[in-house]
A and B are shown apart, each in its own frame.
Chain A
Amino acid sequence: MTQTKTPVPALRLSGLEKSFGPMKIIRGIDLDIPAGERHAVIGPNGAGKSTLFHLISGHYQPSGGSVRLHGDDITGIPPQLIARRGLSRSFQVTNLFPQLTVWENVRCATLWALGHKYSFWRNVERLADARQRTEEILREINLIERWNMPAGVLAYAEQRALEIGLAIASNANTLLLDEPMAGMSHGETEHMVELIRKVSENRTLLMIEHDMGVVFDLADRISVLVYGEVIASDTPERIKANASVQQAYLGTEVA
C-alpha cells in the first residue's frame, strides 16, 4: 500500500479530551491521520472509540484539545458544517430515515454535496446528477433491488449496508465508519470489506472494528485505544508484535 504522505494531515487530533460530568472518557489523544490512509481504531468495549468519533464529527463538543481537518480547526463546530467540509460518517447503531425508501435515504445524502441544498423550486426527480449518484451507490452497496422499500423494513444486514451508503453518498474525502461489520455474517463481512476497500480508495478512512482479520487486512495503520488513551499507533505488523498491546488489549480479547 502506497502512502501519500503530505505535510498537512487529513485529520490532526491534539490533546483531545472529553468528560461526562466527573468521568473522563477521552484523556488527551494526539493523533495524525495522513491523507489517503486507511486507519483502524481498535480497543475494548467502553474504551471511548465511539465517543472519539462523536468528537471528530461534531456530535459531541470536546472538553479540551482540538480537531483539525486538512489543517482547518473544526473543534466544536456543528456536524453539518463538518459534513460540508467533506467529512462523512456512519454510526455504530443503525441511524437511517426509517419511513423513507432506500432510494430516498441515499438521495437525501447526495443532495447537499451536489449543490442542491435547500432548493424548493426544483423537482428532485429531475436532478440527473442525484439520480445517477444514487443508483451508483445502491449498486455498490448491493441494495438496488430494494430501492423502493422503506428503510425501516429492511433486514439488519441490509440496514447496515444502507448505513454505509449514506456515509459514502456525499463523496466525502474523509470517511469515519463506526463498526460497519458489527452483527454481520461471515459472507456479508467479506463483501463489506471489499466494499470498504473500494470506497476508501483515494480517501482517508478512519474505522472502528473488532474483527482482527478485517483490521489487519484493511488497515495501513492501527491505533489502540484503551481507557480513553491511545497506547499504540503503528502498522498492523508492529501492533501485532507490540507487547503492551498484547497485554492491554489483544490478550484480554482472547480471555
Chain B
Amino acid sequence: MSQKTDMKIPALPSDKRSSFLARFGIWIVAAIVLAGLPYVFSSGLAVSTMCMMGTMIIFALSYNMLLGQTGLLSFGHAVFFGLGGFLTAWAMNAVAGTSSPVPLFLFPIMGGFTGLVFGIIFGAVSTKRSGTAFAMITLGIAELVSSSALILRHFFGGEEGITLDRTDMVQVLGLSFGPQIQVYYLIAVWCLISVAAMYAITCTPFGRICNAVRDNPERVRFIGYNTQTVRFMAFSLSGLFAGIGGGLAAINFEIMNSAQMGVGESGAVILMTYIGGIGNFAGPIIGAIVVTYLQLMLSDVTDVWQLYFGLLFIGMVMYAPRGLAGLLALQQPLLQTRQLHHVAPYYILALLPGLVAISGLSMVIEMTYQLAVKTAAGPAMVFFYIPFNANSPLPWIIAVILFAVGTWLFLRAARLAGDAYSQALAWRKLP
C-alpha cells in the first residue's frame, strides 16, 4: 500500500448538484450546432446525408449500450431497428387519411416501443447466456426475423418493402414535412433526446453495473447483482433506442425494406460502432458520421466500396482497437501540455506514404474488378482521372510499386511518429 502522504490527492468526486452550465452546457452547444448545420451544409445532398447520420448515430449508440458498455457482442441488432421502422410505417399508414390528430413528430415513439417489446422478448431468450453463446443466439434471432420477412410477405412487403407518406399526417404549426429540411429538424430533435437519454443512463447505478459486468461478470454476482438481469435490461433498453432510430429511418426514406433488419445491417452497425470506438461514449457518434459519409462517398466512386470497408475495419481492429475516438483521446495529453505541434508533422509524414500505399492497393482492386467483373466494358479504364489499359503490365507494376514503397515508408514514418509521441509525453513528466 502506498504511504506517500506528500502526494496530492486529486479532488474527490462530489455529490452536490453541479452548476447549470456544467450539466447542460454540452447539450445546449449540441442543440445550437444541430440547428446551425443546415445553414453551413445547405445542399439537398448534404441535408439528406445529415438525416441519415442522425438515425445512424442513435442506432450505433444503442448498439454500444451492448458492446461497449456491457460487453455483449450482438449480431442481430438491426432486428430492432428494422422492426421499429416497420411498425412505425404501419402505424403511420393506419393513421394516414383518418382524422386522428397524431402529429408526425410522435411516431418514432412507436418505433421505440416496438424495439423495447421485441428487446424484452428476444432478450429474455438471448441474455440467459453470455459471451459466445449470446452472440450465436443473436445471430439466430437475426436469421429468424429475416426469414419471417419472407413468410409474412404482407406485413413486410416482400422485396419492395412497405411505403409510407409522411406528409399525410395532421399538420402542427404548419409543418408538412414535405421538405427534407423539416425532416432534418425532426431527426435532429429526436437524435438529441436519444443521445442525452443514453448518456444519462450511463451515469446511473444501472449504467455503472453494466460496465462492471463488461469488466468481470463473475465478480458482479458477489456484490449482489444478477448478471442476467443486467444483460436483459441492457438488451431491452438498447432495443428501445434502436427502434427509435428505425422509426426515424422509416420517416426519412418513406420506405422500409426487410433488408434493413438483416444480418448485413447488423454487421454495418458493428462496423460503425467499432470504427468510431467502443470505449468512449462519443465513439459511436463519430463512427456513425464517418462511416455514413464514407459509405455515400465511396459507393459513388466505386462498385466494390464494401471491400474498402472491410479493409478499413480490419485495419482499425489491428492497429487502433480503441477506434477513432481512441486515437483522438491519445492526443488529449499533448493538447493539454501544448506538445501537439511537435508531433503533428510526424502524423502528416506518415499519412502521405499511407495514402500512396492505399492508392496502389486500390488500383490493384479496381483493375481486378475491371477485368473480372466488368468484362463487357473491356480492359480500358480510368483511375484518378488517368485512362489506361488494365491488360498491360505497366499499371500493375506501378500499382505494386506504389503499394510496396508506400507501405514501407508508412511503417518507418509511423515508428517515427510513435517515438515523437512518447517523447512529447515524457517531456511533460520531466519538470
Contacts and interface: CB of A to CB of B under 8 A. Distances in A.
A131 B233 contact: no
B66 to A, nearest CB: 15
A83 B206 contact: no
Interface in B214-236: 214-216, 218-226, 229-230, 233
Chain A interface size band reads 35 or more
Contacts of A111: 205, 208-209, 223-224
Contacts of B179: none
A166 interface: yes
A118 B206 contact: yes
Interface in A192-232: none
Given A111-B209, A120-B233, A123-B203, A57 B222 contact: yes
B209 A80 contact: no
B212 A147 contact: no
Interface string B1-23: 11110010110111101000000
Interface in A63-106: 78-80, 83-84, 88-89, 91, 95-100, 103-104
Contact of A126 (B15, B211, B214, B223): B15
20 contacts: A80-B224, A83-B221, A83-B222, A97-B215, A98-B215, A99-B214, A100-B212, A112-B223, A118-B205, A118-B209, A119-B205, A123-B204, A124-B203, A128-B15, A131-B15, A145-B4, A145-B9, A161-B1, A166-B223, A170-B223
A113 B224 contact: yes
B201 interface: yes
Contacts of B216: 95-98
B269 interface: no
Given A120-B233, A124-B204, A124-B207, A80 B221 contact: yes
A127 B206 CA distance: 13
Given A99-B215, A170-B224, A188 B205 contact: no
A120 B237 contact: yes
Given A80-B225, A121-B204, A147-B10, 7 more contacts: A80-B226, A88-B223, A89-B222, A118-B209, A118-B233, A125-B13, A141-B1
Contacts of B10: 147-148
Interface in B158-209: 200-201, 203-209
B205 A97 contact: no
Contact of A83 (B205, B223, B230): B223
A104 B211 contact: yes
Contact of A122 (B7, B204, B222): B204
B4 A78 contact: no
A143 interface: yes
Contacts of A147: 9-10, 12-13
Contacts of A145: 2, 4, 7, 9
Given A97-B215, A111-B208, A124-B204, A142 B224 contact: no
B224 A118 contact: no
Nearest to B211: A100
A78 B201 CA distance: 27
A108 interface: yes
Nearest to B234: A120
A21 to B, nearest CB: 22
Given A78-B221, A124-B203, A143-B1, A118 B211 contact: no
A142 B229 contact: no
Contacts of A79: 221-222
Contacts of A58: 221
B1 A191 contact: yes
A167 to B, nearest CB: 8
A111 B203 CA distance: 13
B225 A112 contact: yes
B387 to A, nearest CB: 53
Contacts of A91: 219
User: Which 10 A/B pairs are nearest by Cβ-Cβ distance?
Assistant: A112-B224, A120-B206, A97-B215, A79-B221, A116-B205, A83-B224, A131-B15, A109-B223, A128-B15, A142-B1
B15 to A, nearest CB: 4
A144 interface: yes
A186 interface: no
B391 to A, nearest CB: 54
Contacts of A8: none
Contacts of A104: 208, 211
A39 interface: no
Nearest to A115: B205
A248 interface: no
A24 interface: no
Nearest to A116: B205
Given A78-B226, A83-B224, A124 B208 contact: yes
A131 B39 CA distance: 45
Contacts of B212: 97, 100, 108
A95 B219 contact: yes
A205 to B, nearest CB: 16
Contacts of A78: 221, 226
Given A116-B205, A122-B205, A157 B12 contact: no
A80 B2 CA distance: 32
Contact of B3 (A119, A142, A155): A142
A116 B205 CA distance: 7
Contacts of A142: 1-3
B221 to A, nearest CB: 4
A131 B15 CA distance: 7
B203 A97 contact: no
A128 B218 CA distance: 27
A196 B61 CA distance: 43
A145 B10 CA distance: 7
A18 interface: no
A120 B204 contact: yes
